[in-house]
């Protein structure tokens, strides 16, 4: 979905036989709700600075309207994912924790309901006693892969590692050995690098953990037109004696399509 600038967070309940609202709300509920809204907006990546977000309180249920969210792309992506109940494994862990807290409270108190909505009718999220947001079982598998990024730190007195800034702005800490770094002939600090690693990869989210460096690989991402033309010429020459490449390939496979 396209990010919007405003979100409305609301909590409704009946306490002392009266609806919760700006003029009738227990102090602990107000404090907990404000903290949950702040945690949800920030996420674990501190994407939103609460000091930069304006809040207004609306009548009806206790509702906080947050503005200044146009640049919070991860926040909007997580809200989009929350349209599916099987999404808690796919969103930011702090936002998932907020939803889980709300769901636990609502199941214990059928009058309690939480709602998040924008003002364009593109999105709305309700957490109440009937909600069933859950995490899917995570499966991690051993992988060997290549990752690209910028080396922003490396070394270590006791445990050697490489800090790699990824293309998405996150930093991955890759374990290695002092001997491997000592043998490295190039100064790769603050330069782009291609790392050959082993790790564990989450089949659901694609996240990786426990990365370990096998080697730095040569990485030349620039396009070399001269070298490309040489490759084309070599390929053309290699296939020049074959009148019909398709038939030749089918013969190798043992039959025609």
Task: Return d(Cα 70, Cα 117) in angstroms, integer.
Answer: 15
Domains present along the chain, CATH in parentheses? 6-127 (no CATH), 140-217 (2.40.50.140)
What percentage of the chain carries pLDDT values higher than 70?
A: 88
pLDDT tens digit string along 220-255?
A: 666 566 766 777 777 777 777 777 766 766 666 665
Burial of 60 (0-12, 13-18, 19+ CB in 10 A): exposed
pLDDT mean across residues, the chain: 85
According to DSSP H, which parts of 4-92 are helical?
27-42, 73-81
Instruction: Identify the band that residue 173 occupies on the pLDDT scale cut at 50, 70 and 90.
Output: very high
Q: Under DSSP, is residue 140 helix (H, G, I), strand (E, B) or coil?
A: strand
- Residue with token string 């490295």: 184
Q: Under DSSP, is residue 34 helix (H, G, I), strand (E, B) or coil?
A: helix
Instruction: Identify the band that residue 257 occupies on the pLDDT scale cut at 50, 70 and 90.
Output: very low
- Residue with token string 């892969």: 145
Q: What is the pLDDT of residue 249?
A: 64
Residue 152 token pair: 């922003």
Q: Is 90 exceeded by the pLDDT of residue 174? A: yes
Q: What is the pLDDT of residue 21?
A: 81
Contact call for residues 70 and 3 (beta carbons, < 8 A): yes
Contact call for residues 212 and 197 (beta carbons, < 8 A): yes
Number of helices and strands in the chain (H, E): 6, 12
Q: Which residue has the higher pLDDT, 222 or 178?
A: 178
Q: What is the pLDDT of residue 1?
A: 44
- Quote the pTM value: 0.58
pLDDT tens digit string along 127-147?
A: 999 999 998 777 889 999 999
């Amino acid at each position: 979905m396209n990010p919007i600038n405003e979100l409305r967070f609301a909590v409704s309940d009946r306490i002392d036989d009266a609806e919760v609202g700006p003029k009738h709300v227990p102090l602990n509920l107000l404090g907990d709700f404000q903290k949950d809204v702040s945690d949800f907006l920030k996420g674990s990546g501190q994407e939103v600075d609460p000091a930069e977000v304006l809040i207004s309180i609306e009548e009806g249920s206790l509702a906080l309207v947050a503005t200044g969210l146009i640049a919070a792309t991860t926040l909007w992506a997580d809200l989009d994912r929350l349209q599916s109940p099987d999404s808690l494994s796919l969103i930011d862990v702090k936002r998932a924790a907020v939803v889980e807290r709300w769901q636990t409270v609502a199941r214990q108190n059928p009058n309690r309901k939480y709602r998040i909505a924008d003002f364009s009718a593109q999105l709305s999220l309700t957490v109440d006693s009937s909600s069933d947001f859950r995490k899917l079982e995570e499966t991690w598998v051993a992988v060997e892969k290549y990752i690209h990024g910028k080396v922003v730190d490396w070394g270590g007195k006791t445990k050697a590692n490489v800090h790699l800034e990824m293309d998405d702005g996150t930093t991955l800490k890759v374990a290695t050995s002092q001997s491997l770094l000592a043998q490295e002939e190039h100064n790769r600090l603050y330069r782009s690098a291609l790392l050959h690693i082993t790790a564990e990869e989450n089949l659901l989210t694609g996240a990786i953990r426990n990365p370990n460096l096998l080697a730095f690989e040569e990485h030349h991402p620039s396009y070399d037109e001269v070298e490309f033309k040489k490759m084309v010429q070599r390929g053309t020459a290699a296939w020049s004696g074959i009148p019909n490449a398709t038939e030749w390939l089918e013969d190798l496979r043992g039959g025609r399509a």
